Amino acid sequence: MIAALGLLLGILAGLLFQPDIPIGLERYMPIAVVAALDAVFGALRAYLDGIFDDKVFVVSFLSNVVLAAAIVYVGDRLGVGNQLQTGVIVVLGIRIFSNSAAIRRHIFHA
């Protein structure tokens, strides 16, 4: 529940304040958002399974964002940034859909 509330507050803050993202970091923002969504869906699944731990959520959230951005940064330095960015989004997307399927099964018992 805390994760969902934090997500809603973050979205509202972003809409209200409309922060400017530096040009050099614009490339990493979609990766950071997808990585954060992965952590939020994982936290919601853990909550529904009765194994949610707030410390694990915070560590997962931060490490997902930092690791995904670091992978894309290394890819940029190696000249394969687009390929690694696509790979990161595919992997995190699979995890998001897997968690959402588990959430759906838990809620609808189907």
> What pLDDT does 2 receive?
76
pLDDT in tens, 4-23: 788 789 889 989 998 898 99
pLDDT in tens, 63-88: 999 999 999 999 999 999 889 899 99
How far is it, in rounded angstroms, from Cα 84 to Cα 103? 28
> Mapping DSSP to helix (H, G, I), strand (E, B) and coil, where does residue 18 land?
coil
pTM for the model stands at: 0.82
CA 89, 95, 98: angle at the middle one, nearest 5?
Answer: 135
Domain ranges of the chain: 2-108
Q: Which of 99, 106, 74, 103 is nearest to 87 (CA)?
A: 74
What average pLDDT does the structure give for the chain? 90
